[in-house]
Structure 1
Amino acid sequence: MTAIVFDLDGTVLRTVKAYRDVLADAITSVRGDAPDAWLETYTASFLECFAECEPEPIRRTFARIDDCDDPERYATALLEAEIESFSPPPDARRVLEELSAADTHDLGVLTNGVRDWQLAKLRGNDLEQRFDAVVASYDVGAHKPAEAPYRELETRLPADRYVMVGDSDSDIEGAQAAGWDAIRYDGGSFEDVLAAIDSA
């Protein structure tokens, strides 16, 4: 059995917007505008929280903004903005459906992020049911390319072979260090991913 494991953000789900614009949309939906100070504080603080795998990093980050009176509301707005802004590549649904129906493949997601947050994005795009296992970096307290997320995926999805499909160096380098095959996805057709898996 081969486990084909996909990165989430930038691979299974993509956006044409800069993330700063997604963040600005979320803030504007609550308070009517998105001050530069909010955007800059959020970006810097989130990176600190996320790097250390602090609990509830999105809500905690909004709480660090001086005049943010309802961090939970802003966090909810940001999740909604991400769900609205991110969508699968054009033929991804069909290819994932074909792969999930095949007896020779299991499908997984290995994502740097908070589990509930990332699952909500999969559900919001009607994709959660396509995957046999989802591992988020917060599940193990370490982000790709660290070894722990890859080993956790192996525990949850036993297979003879693992193939990582991702858009970043951390996806590829972490997979190779774990002894997996790795395929870089830079956009375009998911059919090309299938061809690359077959030839890897």
Structure 2
Amino acid sequence: MSPQTGDPRRRAEAVVREPAGRLLQLRPEETAGLRGCGHLRRGQSERTGRPPRPGTGRGTVGRGVHRPRRAADRRGAAGRHRRPMTSAIFFAVDGTLCSHTADRETVVERGLESVLGPADPELVEIYLDTLDERRTALDPEAEWAGADAVAAATDADVDPEELVDALREAEIETTTVPEAARSALSALAETDHLGILTNGSRGRQAAKLAAHDLADYFETIVTAPEAGVAKPDPEIYEYAREQVDADEYVMVGDDYEGDVVAPREAGFVPVRYEDEGPSFWRALDAIV
């Protein structure tokens, strides 16, 4: 059986990597004891490879990662029943949940053309320059500012709201979501708190999630404009932690600085999404 067609459980460890090249060990012989997204090998010590001592509650978070535990868990009084560990798992949207089939210049050109007819390349540039400037300023209305700039630069009578809707629709049409992603998210949502953590605006990202039937899996959406800080600043992860009460926090994303380094500094367990090689979502679906 070739590596491309084999059991995805056997290919899991080739999918989820930490930046230094060390794999988060998701080997098939260990998957029976995994709960949630497979970010921890529960019941085995990373340092020794042996099961933890009874009552320690130690898992195998990567070195240097702090996993907060509540005082009740630390006391470990004899005869006390441990409550189940709770996990909050946050996902990036663009490049992780949604794959793009066209670059953003093409998306904007198609969106503008649906309203204005053949789009002048200068209008595309005006929109993107304004959008980037306003996003850097953490403006939640960045899309509207871009649409206003385009409307001001054309002689046509243009409704900025119509432009925003057309641009969002053009983006939705050029994004895809693997079916295995829905299956994995459905399984995770049964036991864990799922969230979105994004630098995009709430309206734009919520529109994509709804269009791809993903919205119901997520209980929390954290956006950079609302947090007042953007990835890769670790402070956005501190803000996310304040929104959800959990024992451990996980970030799944494709960007090395924003989705791996920054969350690790904030005490999250990072899981890096890679769209090359074996299917991340099929492997994750097999594990959960």
| Residue from 173, 190, 200 that aligns with 2:281 | 190
| Residue from 207, 227, 246 that aligns with 1:120 | 207
Is it true that 1:132 corresponds to 2:132 in the alignment?
Answer: no
SS in 2 for 1:64: helix
Q: Is the 8 A contact 1:14 1:88 kept in 2?
A: yes
SS in 2 for 1:107: strand
| TM-score, length basis structure 1 | 0.89
CA shift in 2, pair 1:161/1:79, >3 Å: same
Cα distance in 1, alignment partners of residues 162 and 264 from structure 2: 40
- Normalized per residue, the structure richer in helix is 1
Gaps of at least 5 residues in structure 1 are: none
Q: Map 1:1-200; keep pairs closer than 5 Å.
A: 1-65=86-150, 66-67=153-154, 69-101=158-190, 103=191, 105-169=192-256, 170-187=258-275, 188-193=279-284
Gaps of at least 5 residues in structure 2 are: 1-85
Cα distance in 2, alignment partners of residues 148 and 75 from structure 1: 30
The higher radius of gyration belongs to 2
SS in 1 for 2:100: coil
Matching residue's letter, 1:119:
A
Q: Is the 8 A contact 1:7 1:165 kept in 2?
A: yes
Q: Identity of paired residues, percent?
A: 33
CA shift in 2, pair 1:181/1:55, >3 Å: closer
Report the alpha carbon displacement of residue 12 of structure 1 after superposing the two structures with TM: 0.8
SS in 2 for 1:145: coil
SS in 2 for 1:142: coil
Deviations 1:135-181 (A, max 9, x none): 11111122111233212221222111111110113122221121111
Q: How many residues align?
A: 195
Cα distance in 1, alignment partners of residues 140 and 217 from structure 2: 28
